[in-house]
Amino acid sequence: MKKIYTMFTLSLLLIVTSCGKEDNVDELVDITTTTPETTTPTPTTPTVTLSTVINDFIWKGLNQYYYWQEEVNDLSDSKFDNDDDYVNYLNTTPDNETFFESLKHPDDRFSWIESDYEVLENQLSGISASNGMKFIVYRRASDSDGLIAVVTYVLPNSSAAEQGVVRGDLFNIVNNQELNISNYYSLLYGDDLEYSIELVNFDPNSNIITSRGITKELTKEIDFQEIPVHKNQIIDIGDKRIGYVMYNRFLSTVDTDGDGTNEYDFNQLLIDTFADLGNQNITDLVLDLRYNPGGSVQTCTYLASLITGQFNGEIFAKQLWNTKLMEYFEERNIDNNNYFVSQTTSGVPLPSLQLNKIYVLVSNRSASASELLINGLAPYIEVIKIGTNTVGKNVGSITLYDYIDDNGTKNSEHKYAMQPIVLKIANKLNYADYADGLDPTVELRESIVNYGILGDQNEPLLAKAIEMITGTSKIHNTVSDHIFYPAPDKYEMKNQKMFVDLPLKSINQRKKLK
């Protein structure tokens, strides 16, 4: 995965001052005529600690790149009169995560900071400590703090797969504790690598849970790599050859050990998948993005080009950065748009399906690059969305490290890195206002008691797409049942990503402390 660089440094400004000496007073002079003693205050040089250094990295990174920089008063270029004021400001909030949060705009739901950049890099690469079980946690009733979880899919070659966990399995007990709003995050997303779940049956109408008498012992594998193409198959119905692809992350290349060699090339996997669909002469495509939280904008552009192919060189997406960056790009004739392409940046040809219509399965887990794909294709081809309203992440981020030079040397004093929102992304028609999500063409919510099998013709969302393709039913809106979600948690927010390659290194307009 291409690393993104920026450079910020901090050094201490030393101010040398002289102290005023006491005036000499002649003992014979009458005290009433004695000149009063005067002293000159000694200026205090602000103390620079490691916390100061990290806060300096945070402030300068956000001042330079943050999408809402102009609207956050504390990020103003003219905020501080002198360097001492600036350092004193950095020292007012020694906790770095709290300082970062204090600079976020109220509309920012997605920027985050990590104390270890390797953790952040793994998140962007689809690497995590995982037992392979993907799930959604629901409220059991609108007025209850009691929760129940349903398995959405299981990753191959994982602990959950080995234990026989399957899509649609329900559980509400983890480590012998019943799930509720207060404990579910620590139990399911905590640091423990092992936990047990008890499978149950659930009647949402009566809110009654009955045990199936089955317990699964699950173990998380450190640095587990998710493969983004989860399903790829052909469904033949009459004269229709329907391609079905479940795509769960927009991942590009992954260098797991940092040696400069990519252990995974997921762009090539995506290319091979679509080459196979083309070779099998599919007539229609169902793209399942219902659990796809996003990822690389470049990979998203490749996917749009694979689906179509007839719009090479046309604008797919427009990147809208903050004012000073847009002026910087304009002054230097930097084109920050994304275009439909016929090959990758490394020259690999992209096969194309030449489609004029696509069916996309979506949910409230479809975010970022998933929404970008839909929005970017909409001016060119018909995009039929089946499912529920999407997340509404119409903004993208970059990774900022604390580099101390232009050669890629990281500051050895700390490992902080941040992933701030730096742009809004629009389609060819300049439409980017979908912060509340993209509405489905056909509303169809997954039922907690009838999830179905992914790729099976009877799975409800796929079945609806097949019906529309084969003409066996008309478009109409249906909702299978009403389930209440718990409030979005920080795990899901951080999991919803859309990131771009940094088009420049550092153009920080604030002078550095000397």
Asked which of 290-304, 407-421, 477-491 is least confident by mean pLDDT, the reply is 477-491
pLDDT at 486 over 80: no
Mark out the alpha helices in 288-334 (DSSP H runs).
297-307, 323-331
pLDDT digits (tens, 9 = 90+) for 208-239: 899 999 999 999 999 899 999 999 999 999 99
pLDDT at 171 over 60: yes
For the chain, which domains are there? 128-222 (2.30.42.10), 227-398+419-481 (3.90.226.10)
pLDDT at 162 over 90: yes
pLDDT of residue 450: 85
Tracing tokens 């290194």 back to the chain, one arrives at 505
Q: What percent of the chain has pLDDT over 70?
A: 83
pLDDT of residue 420: 95
The residues that bridge with 194 in the sheet, in sequence order, are 219
Element at 296 (helix H, strand E): strand 294-296
pLDDT of residue 447: 85
pLDDT at 473 over 70: no
d(CA 77, CA 59): 11
Q: Give the pLDDT band (50/70/90) at residue 259.
A: confident
pLDDT of residue 37: 59
pLDDT of residue 92: 95
Buried b / exposed e along 47-58 (16+ C-beta atoms within 10 A) = ebeebbbbbbbb
- Check: CB of residue 288 under 8 Å from CB of residue 361: yes
pLDDT digits (tens, 9 = 90+) for 390-444: 999 999 989 999 988 878 889 999 999 999 999 999 999 999 999 999 999 999 9
Mean pLDDT value across residues 169-187 = 94
pLDDT of residue 275: 97
d(CA 91, CA 414): 17
Q: Say which residues have a Cβ less than 8 Å from residue 238's Cβ, sequence separation at least 6.
A: 470
pLDDT of residue 43: 63
Q: Measure the CA angle with vertex 466, ends 473 and 390; round to 5°.
A: 95
- Check: CB of residue 247 under 8 Å from CB of residue 292: yes
pLDDT at 165 over 70: yes
- Quote the mean pLDDT of the chain: 85
Both tokens of 41, joined, read 């205050």
pLDDT at 24 over 70: no
pLDDT at 477 over 50: no
Mean pLDDT value across residues 500-506 = 50
SS3 257: coil
pLDDT of residue 1: 38
3-state helix, strand, coil in the chain (%, to 5): 25, 25, 50
Asked which of 123-137, 364-378, 381-395 is least confident by mean pLDDT, the reply is 123-137
pLDDT digits (tens, 9 = 90+) for 115-157: 998 888 887 777 788 999 999 998 887 777 889 999 999 999 9
Q: Measure the CA angle with vertex 133, ends 273 and 181; round to 5°.
A: 130
pLDDT at 10 over 70: no
Tracing tokens 């478009």 back to the chain, one arrives at 475
State the DSSP code for 260.
S
pLDDT digits (tens, 9 = 90+) for 26-65: 333 343 444 555 555 656 788 999 999 999 999 999 999 9
pLDDT of residue 99: 98
pLDDT of residue 513: 39
